Amino acid sequence: MMVLITYDVNTSSDGGQRRLRHVAKTCENYGQRVQNSVFECLVDPQQFKELQLKLEKIIDPSVDSLRYYQLGAKWKRKVEHVGAKQGYDVDGLLLI
């Protein structure tokens, strides 16, 4: 399943910079960074659960947030990119 993860980490709060780095680092192990705070992760349900648990231990839910979007099987047809930093397909091919 393709899951889009977006996050906001309040970097002006205590430990915010550390949490931001930690969230990004954790997402990197599961998918492809497509923008600063946006990752596309091709995961199975077990990996998705595992990733959610990890991320939710890192953030401070009173000031940070995470959003998960399940994009479905035909996700490639539903995504458009404009401008810099074109994302790469997690399968290893350029996403056109």
Residues 6+ away with beta carbon under 8 Å from 51: 5, 26, 27, 30, 41, 43
> Site for its own copies (CB under 8 A): which residue of 12, 83, 94, 96?
83
> Site for its own copies (CB under 8 A): which residue of 84, 93, 94, 96?
84
Contact call for residue 27 and its own copies (CB under 8 A): no
Terminal Cα-to-Cα distance of the chain (whole angstroms): 20
Q: Which residues bind its own copies (CB under 8 A)?
A: 4, 6-8, 10, 34-38, 52, 55-56, 59-72, 75, 78-87
User: Residues forming the annotated binding site?
Assistant: 8
